[in-house]
Amino acid sequence: MPPFDVPEGDPFGPHNLPYGVFSHAGSTQRTVGVRLGDHVLDAGAAARALGSPYVSLLAQPSLNPLLAAGRTAWSDVRRALTAWVTVPAHQEAIGSFLHPLSSVTLHLPFEVADYVDFYASENHARNVGQIFRPDAADSLTPNWKHLPIGYHGRSGTVVVSGTDVVRPSGQRKAPADAAPVFGPSVRLDIEAEVGFVVGVPSERGRPVVLGDFREHVFGLCLLNDWSARDVQAWEYVPLGPFLGKSFATSVSAWITPLDALEDARVAPPERTHALLPYLDDAQDEPGGYDLRISVAINGSVVSEPPFSTMYWTAAQQLAHMTVNGASLRTGDLYGSGTVSGTEPAQRGSLLELTWNGRDPLELPEGKRTFLEDGDVVTLSAWAPGPGGTRVGLGDVSGRIVAGTVE
Amino acid sequence: MPPFDVPEGDPFGPHNLPYGVFSHAGSTQRTVGVRLGDHVLDAGAAARALGSPYVSLLAQPSLNPLLAAGRTAWSDVRRALTAWVTVPAHQEAIGSFLHPLSSVTLHLPFEVADYVDFYASENHARNVGQIFRPDAADSLTPNWKHLPIGYHGRSGTVVVSGTDVVRPSGQRKAPADAAPVFGPSVRLDIEAEVGFVVGVPSERGRPVVLGDFREHVFGLCLLNDWSARDVQAWEYVPLGPFLGKSFATSVSAWITPLDALEDARVAPPERTHALLPYLDDAQDEPGGYDLRISVAINGSVVSEPPFSTMYWTAAQQLAHMTVNGASLRTGDLYGSGTVSGTEPAQRGSLLELTWNGRDPLELPEGKRTFLEDGDVVTLSAWAPGPGGTRVGLGDVSGRIVAGTVE
């Protein structure tokens, strides 16, 4: 009988209840699971056993039907799940549908529609500006404080935590080189980010206003936007990052619903520039989230980026992304951009942590400027929960493996 | 009885047979259609009536199953269709499945997975460089001749020909302005392009080599990558175009299979720079296509861009897009980039045609620098076919309508 009484202080207690998709060993059948401690509840089977009306949202091979169902359904399902895992009579009925995490395989929890990545940490943007444009008067580009800069990424290479990341090959050209050379990236980097998952679609031509953020966005996950800095540097003028990013983006297997993060809502940093009305959240909900991220390489923590420092909020990003009439689809994913705090030990990329390789990290297994084959990068995070609890976000982890192209 | 003998010289004769998806008036049931003259053949119904093994590929609401089936199936199905519309006994059997185009609704013919847009016309890139960087020593960026520059666009706003395009709003800032302003774009533009449709997926970590282009790409369409130049100019440094492009991309309703374009294959322009091996097509298939595009605004032809002038071929773009290990999915779409020839009357955007508004076009209804509400833009094209015939590409058309945000 699995433990409904998860240990006190467990960040995956009944106050959390993130959603994922799993299968049993030897089976290809995927279904929605809800994490409780170190177990996963087969939510569709539990719903069926209890005669719940939510079978059609939970007995599914992906989260998409639940995502599309909208905020009222999200709250109702969460209320039902909370009862199932806390009320003794229900616990008895669903006990056999709780499985040890170690016995299941976790999958990409939703079908990614469009993937957008932002650039919303002022500290990160300033660090990158200083590294790449040391002579510029301002380390931020002129537009940075007026709009959340973003670009579209490759949805087809979003992978779930645990998936190996093949070192990409590509063109690179140092300024002194006469011509570009081709080969495996020698500046493979991480970007510690938070990803937001859109549930409810919107119509083309109809912007989503700031205040409707929570009507459209279901929840969030951790996201590592792997980056080949050498490839990116040579290709990105004038149309932005392409192959330097498109080989893989890893997301955690668990999507934490916004409803679990009510106690983590915080005001964003003070605005230094007046905002156009569609982005002005001064009168609106706080918009920020207090998420404490941790970045580990081969088990050694190398950084602890605080998400509360992000200049642009997820609500502003959504408003901006749709202000031109672009529509949303269920499964749209957007990344916050690399999260970097004010301190050196809070930087969310190796580019910043090693100052473009100048200051290597000292790890037990040796020095690191950028990632080496075999390195395992793990992002983890927690947020303040009700009554002093912690709400755990699912880890996102990936191992670098050598590519086949030399 | 519909005419199997399409008029001589009809660009949609039995030598063409492009694929689309249609529904009948009053029905929501979509199914694959094949164009013949000014009729559409209900291909699934015809396959069923003839006891064809291809029912499962054709009696479908989108082209995706056919796209995924691969080159051998593509050729087999095309051979079967050719027989159905040319052999009298078959004609009789399928006659009742031919419907006038005017009686059906055409839909987006496939589910768009990832959408990438390239920048492969040297003339276009040079024109843009001269307009925006008049003082630069070279109008091309240093990377331009070494790799096909591209970026990811928004798949969710790819729409079928005939769909209205809502004028996007957004931020813009003229260099002399102190701060950005918000409002409907005042520099709404077209980009006349060709779109390539991926059928067969590839594995993450395994680049698709140049020579495998035809194993993965099913066919092509016309594509108009609508662009808000004022929004784009303010947002695009450093991460590339975002809201200036993401509001809508229109594609023709008909996908022309590569097999119909054998006679249109041509060598690309001479390479002025040595290419890295993965892009070097000197020993490979020609790679280029001789497509004669025509751009009309409200029925007046304003430009005739020749696709044969494109510096980078679709095969090179595919090889580049995957060389970092990025995988392909069925339904991936990639645009060639604006097609511009060497002559002023061959430019594929208003930005170039009016030289950023300096030289307005004179249309019967008045002067145009950029698009006005109510304007209808139509791209059409043909390619040389067997025996002196023309292979018609489906038109892509869209009307600009005012947005709701002011």
- Rounded Cα–Cα distance for residues B166 and A206 (Å): 9
- Rounded Cα–Cα distance for residues A279 and A264 (Å): 21
Summarised one tens digit per residue, pLDDT across range B272-296 is 999 999 999 987 767 899 999 999 9
Residue the block writes with tokens 């690309």: B268
**Statement: residue A4 has pLDDT above 90:** no
For residue B263, count CB atoms less than 10 angstroms from its CB and return exposed for 0-12, middle for 13-18, buried for 19 or more.
Answer: middle
Which of chain A's residues have a Cβ under 8 Å away from the Cβ of B240?
A: 151, 236, 238-241
Summarised one tens digit per residue, pLDDT across range B366-389 is 999 999 999 999 999 999 999 999
- Residue in A114, A324, A336, A401 to test binding to B, most B beta-carbons within 10 Å: A324
Assign B406 a pLDDT band (cuts: 50, 70, 90): very low
User: What is the rounded average pLDDT for all residues in chain B?
Assistant: 96
Summarised one tens digit per residue, pLDDT across range A198-240 is 999 999 999 999 999 999 999 999 999 999 999 999 999 999 9
Out of B151, B166, B404, whose CB is closest to A151? B151
**Across the strands, what pairs with A247?**
none
With beta carbons less than 8 A apart as the criterion, state whether A381 and A161 touch.
Answer: no
- Domain B115-401 belongs to what topology? Fumarylacetoacetate hydrolase; domain 2 (3.90.850)
Assign B12 a pLDDT band (cuts: 50, 70, 90): very high
Mean pLDDT for the stretch of residues B57-63: 98
Instruction: Let me know if A15 is a catalytic residue.
Output: no
Q: What percent of chain B has pLDDT over 90?
A: 94
- Rounded Cα–Cα distance for residues B263 and B261 (Å): 5
DSSP letter (8 states) at residue A327: P
With beta carbons less than 8 A apart as the criterion, state whether B227 and B187 touch.
Answer: no
DSSP letter (8 states) at residue A331: T
Q: Which amino acid is at A41?
A: L
- Rounded Cα–Cα distance for residues A373 and A399 (Å): 8
Query: In this prediction, does ipTM exceed 0.95?
Result: yes
**Statement: residue A166 has pLDDT above 70:** yes
pLDDT of residue A406: 47
Q: Tell me if B276 and A180 make a contact (CB, 8 A cut-off).
A: yes
pLDDT of residue B2: 58
Out of B146, B149, B231, whose CB is closest to A239? B149
Residue (of A311, A304, A314) closest to A379 by Cα position: A304
**Statement: residue A405 has pLDDT above 60:** no
Cβ neighbours of residue B89 closer than 8 Å, sequence gap 6 or more: none
Of B15, B90, B124, B320, catalytic: B124
Per the structure block, which two tokens stand in for A94? Answer: 């669903």
Looking at 1.20.1440.230, 2.30.30.230, 2.170.150.70, 1.10.3720.10, the CATH number of the domain A19-107 comes to 2.30.30.230
Assign A3 a pLDDT band (cuts: 50, 70, 90): low
Q: What are phi and psi of B124, to 5 degrees?
A: -65, -50
Which of chain A's residues have a Cβ under 8 Å away from the Cβ of B246?
A: 152, 321, 324, 326
The residue ranges of every structural domain in chain B are 19-107, 115-401
Residue (of A195, A149, A204) closest to A320 by Cα position: A149
User: What is the rounded average pLDDT for all residues in chain A?
Assistant: 96
Summarised one tens digit per residue, pLDDT across range B185-204 is 999 999 999 999 999 999 99
Summarised one tens digit per residue, pLDDT across range B316-360 is 999 999 999 999 999 999 999 999 999 999 999 999 999 999 999
Summarised one tens digit per residue, pLDDT across range B126-177 is 999 999 888 989 999 999 999 999 999 999 999 999 999 999 999 999 988 9
Q: Tell me if A204 and B159 make a contact (CB, 8 A cut-off).
A: yes
